[in-house]
Amino acid sequence: MSTHTDAAATVVWPLTIFYDASCPLCREEMHAIKAWDRGNRLRLRDASAPGFADARCAAAGVDVPALMQAIHAVDGAGRWYRGVGVFELAYGAAGLHSVARMFAHPRLQPLWERLYPWIARFRQPLSRLGINRLYGWGVRRAAARAERRAAGCRDGVCSLPDHRQVPGPRRAC
């Protein structure tokens, strides 16, 4: 099971994400990501639902306590991902590449690997403190920035300036 991946290039969509929808922080983040999934590459499964069962989880030996301990995902080819690598793939699938790169950055990965288990363990108390609203705001802000960048190019022409040159006429993308 992967934690960090080069799989963004090799993942077979759709990616099914198993998360804790009883947690406001988890729910807010997953629903914000899914809202930007214009390619419909993500499937969300609430592992906290009463009587939750999934044949892929059972076949891989992934039980509900494991799903509740850390976020998990399985791609269309049956490859499993756990922890921070799931966020990298999910944000990338939603077109939020700057956030995906942040999770994938080799110098930041040791930080994420230490921080994520702590956040996962204390996600409910963090939600009670309102962290979910702050995090939801951050995701929406990143999505709005991605939308503005995407709107800069239409019909193969970018209105964004090439910072290597003096600003001038529009250039080809």
For residue 12, give the DSSP letter. Answer: P
38, amino acid identity: R
How far, in Å, CA of 172 to CA of 87, rounded?
32
What residues contact residue 17 under an 8 Å CB cut-off, 6+ apart? Answer: 30, 42, 43, 44, 45, 71, 72, 73, 86, 90
pLDDT at 144 over 90: no
Position 13 scores a pLDDT of 98
> In terms of C-beta density within 10 A (0-12 exposed, 13-18 middle, 19 or more buried), how is residue 22 classed?
middle
pLDDT band at 166 (very low <50, low <70, confident <90, very high): very low
> In terms of C-beta density within 10 A (0-12 exposed, 13-18 middle, 19 or more buried), how is residue 164 classed?
exposed
Domain residue limits, the chain = 15-172
pLDDT at 6 over 90: no
Q: pTM score > 0.85 for this model?
A: no
What would the mean pLDDT of 19-48 be, rounded to a whole number?
95
How far, in Å, CA of 7 to CA of 27, rounded?
24
pLDDT at 105 over 80: yes
pLDDT at 9 over 80: no
pLDDT at 31 over 50: yes
How far, in Å, CA of 133 to CA of 155, rounded?
37
**Position with higher pLDDT, 69 vs 134:** 69
Position 130 scores a pLDDT of 82
**pLDDT > 70: percent of the chain:** 79
